[in-house]
Chain A
Amino acid sequence: MTTSTQHLAAGGRSDPLRRVLPLLEVRPVKVAAAIGFGVLALACAIGLAAVAAWLVARAYQMPPVLTLSVAVVAVRAFGIGRGVLRYCERLASHDVALRGMAALRANLYDRLAADDRPVTVRRGELLARIGQDVDDVGDVVVRALVPAGVAVVTSLGSVILLGVLLPAAGVALALCLVLAGIVTPWLAARAAARTEARGAAVRGEVTALSLEVLEESAPLRVSGRFGARLAALDAADARLSAIADDGARTSGLAAALGALAQGLAVLASLTLGIPVAMSGSLSVEALSVVVLTPLAVFEATAGLPAAAVQLLRSREAARRLLELLPASDPMSAARVARVARVARVARVPGAAERAGAPDPSGEEGTSCRTGASGTAQEAGGALLVLDHVAAGWPDAAGWPRTAVEGVSLALRQGSVVALAGPSGAGKTTLLMTAAGLIPPVGGTVSAWSAERQEVGIPGYRSSDVLPTTPSPSATLFVAEDGHLFDTTVLENLRVARGDVTAAEARTALDAVGLGAWLAALPEGLDTVVGTDAAAVSGGERRRLLVARALLSPAQVLLVDEPAEHLDGATADALVRTLAAHARATGRAVLLATHRLTPLAAVDEVVVLGHDAGAAHGVPATVTARGRHEHLRTTDATYAWSTSQER
């Protein structure tokens, strides 16, 4: 069994399950132990049947009772041993599976942490499923690997037992076991795969329609579409039933073959054994064993159809997990470990605080650089320079679709710049490009530390360069949907910097207007804010994220929509806080907002948008820029938009 596990672990490239299995760090010895217990447990059941068959045939000849005592003791021992050994097997296999799941989670985390690709919608869905998928992959040990191993060993043992007594019966049993243990599971898996493949789309449709009818019943009823939706749900469910029905044909066949195999084995033993026994060359005890043992053997194969289906499900889960990892060349475990080690070195106290300091890990870090050395001289005291940058997300085919282009700006120490413009003008995309989260479609992004050393921008690495994190982030992107962790307020703020003190935390929370909120919390800074920060309102969450950004050592803060979910006055105050923070600490702030009123506090407003009459699909450009007051007097649209915000 060890060999089969090693074979699985070594595995080919094509099967996703084989590619994921190394991440489970399964120890073959443990798997072998689990299978060993399982084999012994099942051997007890088979031994019980065989010895009892011998006992009855022998007892009929009325020998002295003492000659039966070994058999009597053996039968009772098997009777007890089976339950106990099965208990051991289940514990051993679950232990292997749980260790595997823990290792898989940790390995996935390391790889995801080392992966610098931005999270897209599809990846978001996959991430949401990660817990279930890890469980499904782990289940392969308990529900497929161990049962299969047990079945192989016990089947071989039974065939040898019968083969020794009556070779022909051994061959017949082997054939029937192949039918029950290989053909049947294959059919069951095929049926499940077909049903799953054909049903996936319909299942999605049923779910979508159910949710729509449930959530939108009032609008649907008012607009007279309710009946049609219910009819569509009925039709989709009928199609789903038809597909299940179709699969049931094959699984029915599998079930029939499984039952048939056992009966055929008994029948074959009788047919082959009786003539031989009557001729006297087979003892009656042996005949009894040959005929009655197969009744117990097929318990080994009974669970295999389910095991085959589980294998299929685990493989799908493994495929989804692989999708999360870098597609082309998944990093070896050693490489990930190295990256993680280097990153930990980089996070020693002091390194984080001196934002923009050269990477302590040496040449690998400094090779993470952008080009555009020409702009270095022009940039003056700039921390971040965008030079004719075009930004966009790759489309489905991987080609970048430019959302906004021709943006040049320089952020110096203490400067505060705002990106304004209608939704869809590419404000967020531009921010993420400036942060290095997505590579620019055109132009260059350059970042310098306050000490005038060029620092790495994540997102420009070629595959042979270490990922991002070794260089302490000079720029920080504060996403609209930043994550609040399921821990205390203070620990959430410490995500920005490990040594944030309680006093610093209070100051930052006061600055964003959360002082009263903090005072009302039952345990102050030690209050747990909960998963998905359910205990926190949208506006409070927003301000917590900004407070965290204020505590970050990053020299450049790129803040997306700080005003979202906030009422006008609070939103304006928050923008002013950010601006004051930048000026007081010599940091630079670039913020994207569609609320214009607070922009009186910033140094420059860059308005993104389309020229009137621009064709569809044309990237947005800078339509106006300048100070807020200047734009209010010179730009009619800007003035009108501002006037509407009351």
Chain B
Amino acid sequence: MKPIDPRLLQQVRAARWYVALTVGLGVAAAALIVAQALLIAALLAPVVRGDATSGPALAWPFAGLALVIAGRAGIAWAQERYALRAAARTIAELRRAVVEAWALRGPRAAGTTAVEAAEGGPPAGAPASGGGNGASPEAEVATLATRGLDALEPYLVRYVPQLVLTALLTPALVVVVLGLDWVSAVILIVTLPLVPVFMVLVGRLTAGTSERRLATVERLGTQVLDLVAGLPTLRAFGRSFGPGERVRALGDASRRATMGTLRVAFLSSMVLELLTTLSVAIIAVGVGLRLVEGAMELQPAIAVLVLAPEVYLPLRRVGAEFHASVDGVAAASRAFALLPSVRSEDEDVPASAEGLGGRVTSGELVLEGVSVRAVGRGVVAPAGLTARIPLGAGSGRVVALRGPSGSGKSTAVLVALGLLTPDAGRVGLVPAGGALRDLADLSADERDAWWAALTWVPQRPALPPGRLREVVLDGASPGAARSLAEAARLTGLDSVVGALPDGWDTHVGLGGVGLSVGQRQRVALTSALLDDAATKPLVILDEPTAHLDARGEQGVLDTVRAWRDSGRTVLVVAHRASLLGLADQVIDVRSAPEPATGPGSCPEPAPAGRSTTNREA
């Protein structure tokens, strides 16, 4: 493990600046510590020798010592003051970089979470940096961005300064001691390297035992929490009192196991303390004995006595803050592991000459033989999907995507949005009288224009935290507030609001916490209804009636009708008969077994993606 991740200095401005400041303060601190020792010796030695003269001869060293003390207080202030500031900024800089980089992963990777959630199956594309076992990469990134990076604070504030001091102060003081008394310097030079050597040795010897024991401790802790979490259930069965004894027994077992670990783990710090204190004692005794023999002057002897503990101090503190360093370095390397790999995928395609020319308000969305391999499921879903969906034709149109669970309906929606590039086939826009423009070839501006022309309500709608009214109006035009009541009546949100204690001012947590899934669905639909029909000719709904009872479903049907009546195209993933009955055009989505030959050679499934026209509007 490296004590400081070089990427921290290369990529984070706040950290670079901070380490430079710490080095500067470390040099100053070293100088002041030496000056303090020499001045104390200069003041004390004449008195002990009995040749001191009072008056101005003592005044100068006194003034010097006072200045040194003020200087050391100043350094302590600056170190603490700027360390905390730098830590907060470093964390903010890294958090922003991680969050943005992860959110802007390539379109393929970005789609995986949504597909996973929607289809309840494994992701359609492997994430950029596979998490493998344990928590999903998404959860890991979320933990890192919200709490994990906080480990950098103790690392930067406590550990890094001591590390810098160890690197600067220790050699400088050894040189000074060498000038004062070479015998003491030799003792320092011999003992200093022993400290890390012994610590590593002890660490190696104990690592295995500690890890095994820690696993036991963790398991015991989990069992106690499991019992507490299950209390409502136990209480319902009237069995909540029995496990009390068990919690006690588990706690005792946990303590015994932990103490076993600690007995071994504290050995390394004992070695550290023992070596450093014993070395100081040896130096003190050596200096004393040479004084008796007259082999040494008094003044350097006092200076060496004052300096000796200072030589070991930073090293001892580094040892004490070792855990801060482990956590901090681990958090930093996890963050940097995410950054480069995700950045490379977000390459914008340059705008082509035959651009879409501003907003997409007419033409067709075309899917031609679109196939997406669902990694890990051994199927292609959707397989060979072909459809032509007219946009903003003026008369309004409901297009339904139909198919069994897992056939790739939600994936097809992601492909149509341009969030996912199909493994085979094409998806693109055909402007009125123009040629097919692949969504994958759109420039960043064109892609934004395409997204600006549509409203998408995912199966699990994204609700920002805030008061319900703000949540619904988030991203809507300023005039939309006037249509709010009307829209809420249509989707049935008004009855939800009426039943809430604080009505429109109810606080909604991130992801809609506080609302049921069906209620979130209605909030998202209401929000979508407020979008301007003229600029957003396409509405995409993913299973809008899932989680709704019969009455809630009626609200969705009314909403979809309202959209059609306002001349928009509604692309809807539909399961229930009621919604399918509303469709002007039904597209069947099918999956096919994955061919063994490899990517890009999807079989020609029988007439999949057949468009049937139910009813002409």
**Partner among B92, B241, B285 whose Cβ is within 8 Å of the Cβ of A343:** B241
The answer to whether B374 has its CB under 8 Å from any CB of chain A is no
Task: Identify which of residues 212-244 in chain B touch chain A, using a CB-to-CB cut-off of 8 Å.
Answer: 221-244
**Partner among A86, A270, A482 whose Cβ is within 8 Å of the Cβ of B44:** A270
Q: Is the CB of A217 within 8 A of B277?
A: no
The bracket for how many chain A residues form the interface is 35 or more
Name the residue among A78, A130, A213, A222 with the largest chain B CB count within 10 angstroms: A222
**Partner among B238, B509, B519 whose Cβ is within 8 Å of the Cβ of A472:** B238
Question: Which chain B positions have C-beta within 8 A of A217?
Answer: 102-104, 110
Q: Is the CB of A212 within 8 A of B251?
A: no
Q: Is the CB of B81 within 8 A of A252?
A: yes
Complex CA–CA separation, A207 to B111 (angstroms): 23
The answer to whether A296 has its CB under 8 Å from any CB of chain B is yes
Question: Which chain A positions have C-beta within 8 A of B452?
Answer: 224
Contact of A75 with B284 at beta-carbon distance under 8 Å, contacts A106-B247, A531-B222 already known: yes
Q: What are 24 A-B interface contacts by the 8 Å CB criterion?
A: A71-B288, A72-B285, A83-B277, A87-B269, A99-B255, A109-B224, A206-B146, A207-B146, A210-B142, A212-B511, A215-B138, A233-B99, A247-B84, A252-B77, A256-B74, A259-B73, A340-B241, A344-B241, A396-B501, A401-B501, A424-B499, A479-B232, A479-B236, A644-B577
Contact of A288 with B44 at beta-carbon distance under 8 Å, contacts A113-B235, A240-B88 already known: yes
Question: Which chain B positions have C-beta within 8 A of A71?
Answer: 288
Q: Is the CB of A256 within 8 A of B73?
A: yes
9 A-B pairs besides A112-B231, A248-B84, A292-B305 with CB distance below 8 A are: A80-B281, A109-B227, A214-B142, A229-B464, A278-B47, A395-B501, A422-B551, A424-B516, A616-B497
A-B contact count (CB 8 A): 436
**Partner among B85, B251, B305 whose Cβ is within 8 Å of the Cβ of A52:** B305
Give the 5 A-B CB pairs with smallest separation, nearest first: A616-B498, A102-B251, A79-B281, A263-B69, A83-B274
Complex CA–CA separation, A509 to B102 (angstroms): 44
Contact of A79 with B278 at beta-carbon distance under 8 Å, contacts A106-B248, A237-B95 already known: yes
The answer to whether B510 has its CB under 8 Å from any CB of chain A is yes
Pick out which of these stretches binds chain A: B49-57, B124-132, B478-486, B603-611.
Answer: B49-57
Interface string of B296-334 (1 = CB under 8 A from A): 001001100110010000000000000000000000000
Contact of A55 with B233 at beta-carbon distance under 8 Å, contacts A86-B273, A106-B244, A210-B99 already known: no
**Partner among A215, A225, A486 whose Cβ is within 8 Å of the Cβ of B511:** A215
Q: Is the CB of A287 within 8 A of B95?
A: no
The answer to whether A245 has its CB under 8 Å from any CB of chain B is yes
Complex CA–CA separation, A315 to B501 (angstroms): 33
Q: Is the CB of B577 within 8 A of A255?
A: no
The answer to whether B432 has its CB under 8 Å from any CB of chain A is no
Question: Which chain A positions have C-beta within 8 A of B239?
Answer: 347, 469, 495, 498
Q: Which residue of B lies closest to A87 (CB)?
A: B270
Q: In terms of DSSP, what is the predominant structure of the interface of chain B?
A: helix
CB distance from B40 to the nearest CB of A (A): 7
Complex CA–CA separation, A83 to B279 (angstroms): 12
CB distance from A232 to the nearest CB of B (A): 9
Name the residue among B462, B475, B552 with the largest chain A CB count within 10 angstroms: B462
Q: Is the CB of A617 within 8 A of B498?
A: yes
Q: Is the CB of A48 within 8 A of B284?
A: yes
Complex CA–CA separation, A94 to B269 (angstroms): 15
The answer to whether A131 has its CB under 8 Å from any CB of chain B is yes
Q: How many residues of B contact A (CB 8 A)?
A: 152
The answer to whether B518 has its CB under 8 Å from any CB of chain A is yes
**Partner among A56, A65, A210 whose Cβ is within 8 Å of the Cβ of B301:** A56
Task: Identify which of residues 251-270 in chain A touch chain B, using a CB-to-CB cut-off of 8 Å.
Answer: 251-260, 263-264, 266-267, 270
Q: Which residue of B lies closest to A55 (CB)?
A: B288
Contact of A616 with B309 at beta-carbon distance under 8 Å, contacts A224-B451, A423-B516 already known: no
Interface string of A223-255 (1 = CB under 8 A from B): 111100110011001101100110111011111
The answer to whether B262 has its CB under 8 Å from any CB of chain A is yes
Q: Is the CB of A423 within 8 A of B549?
A: yes
Q: Is the CB of B77 within 8 A of A256?
A: yes
**Partner among A82, A222, A237 whose Cβ is within 8 Å of the Cβ of B96:** A237
**Partner among B227, B254, B302, B550 whose Cβ is within 8 Å of the Cβ of A98:** B254
Question: Which chain B positions have C-beta within 8 A of A241?
Answer: 85, 88-89, 92
The answer to whether A460 has its CB under 8 Å from any CB of chain B is no
Complex CA–CA separation, A637 to B576 (angstroms): 17
Q: Is the CB of A255 within 8 A of B80?
A: yes
Interface string of A101-119 (1 = CB under 8 A from B): 1110110111011001011
Q: Is the CB of B461 within 8 A of A219?
A: yes
Interface string of A127-138 (1 = CB under 8 A from B): 100110000000
The answer to whether A483 has its CB under 8 Å from any CB of chain B is yes
Q: Is the CB of B222 within 8 A of A486?
A: yes
The answer to whether B7 has its CB under 8 Å from any CB of chain A is no
The answer to whether B291 has its CB under 8 Å from any CB of chain A is yes
Q: Which residue of A lies closest to B475 (CB)?
A: A225
The answer to whether B282 has its CB under 8 Å from any CB of chain A is yes
Q: Is the CB of A109 within 8 A of B243?
A: yes
Complex CA–CA separation, A477 to B301 (angstroms): 81
CB distance from A66 to the nearest CB of B (A): 10
Complex CA–CA separation, A53 to B301 (angstroms): 10
CB distance from B39 to the nearest CB of A (A): 9
Q: Which residue of B lies closest to A239 (CB)?
A: B92
Complex CA–CA separation, A496 to B72 (angstroms): 68
CB distance from A644 to the nearest CB of B (A): 5
Pick out which of these stretches binds chain A: B60-68, B167-175, B584-592.
Answer: B60-68
The answer to whether A352 has its CB under 8 Å from any CB of chain B is yes
Q: Is the CB of B237 within 8 A of A552?
A: yes
Interface string of A277-309 (1 = CB under 8 A from B): 110000010011001100110000000000000
Q: Is the CB of A83 within 8 A of B270?
A: yes
Question: Which chain B positions have C-beta within 8 A of A164?
Answer: none
The answer to whether B558 has its CB under 8 Å from any CB of chain A is no
Question: Which chain A positions have C-beta within 8 A of B280?
Answer: 48, 52, 79
Complex CA–CA separation, A447 to B282 (angstroms): 82
Contact of A212 with B510 at beta-carbon distance under 8 Å, contacts A102-B252, A251-B80 already known: yes
CB distance from B370 to the nearest CB of A (A): 18
**Partner among B237, B298, B456, B498 whose Cβ is within 8 Å of the Cβ of A222:** B456
Complex CA–CA separation, A55 to B288 (angstroms): 6
CB distance from A161 to the nearest CB of B (A): 18
Complex CA–CA separation, A347 to B79 (angstroms): 62
Interface string of B491-517 (1 = CB under 8 A from A): 000111111010000000111001010
Task: Identify which of residues 424-469 in chain B touch chain A, using a CB-to-CB cut-off of 8 Å.
Answer: 448, 451-452, 454-456, 458, 461-462, 464-465
The answer to whether B582 has its CB under 8 Å from any CB of chain A is no
**Partner among B58, B80, B277, B511 whose Cβ is within 8 Å of the Cβ of A79:** B277
Complex CA–CA separation, A469 to B236 (angstroms): 9
Q: Is the CB of A245 within 8 A of B85?
A: yes
Question: Which chain B positions have C-beta within 8 A of A352?
Answer: 238
Complex CA–CA separation, A427 to B448 (angstroms): 45
Task: Identify which of residues 107-140 in chain B touch chain A, using a CB-to-CB cut-off of 8 Å.
Answer: 110-111, 113-114, 138
Q: Is the CB of A469 within 8 A of B238?
A: yes
Q: Is the CB of A270 within 8 A of B43?
A: yes
The answer to whether A152 has its CB under 8 Å from any CB of chain B is no
CB distance from A258 to the nearest CB of B (A): 7
Complex CA–CA separation, A240 to B93 (angstroms): 12
Q: Which residue of A lies closest to B267 (CB)?
A: A87
CB distance from A290 to the nearest CB of B (A): 10
The answer to whether B100 has its CB under 8 Å from any CB of chain A is yes
The answer to whether A271 has its CB under 8 Å from any CB of chain B is yes
Complex CA–CA separation, A435 to B238 (angstroms): 12
Question: Which chain A positions have C-beta within 8 A of B243?
Answer: 109, 113
CB distance from A624 to the nearest CB of B (A): 14
Q: Is the CB of B66 within 8 A of A267?
A: yes
Q: Is the CB of B294 within 8 A of A62?
A: yes
Question: Which chain B positions have C-beta within 8 A of A291?
Answer: 40, 44
CB distance from B257 to the nearest CB of A (A): 10
Q: Which residue of B lies closest to A486 (CB)?
A: B226
Question: Which chain A positions have C-beta within 8 A of B49?
Answer: 60
CB distance from A65 to the nearest CB of B (A): 6
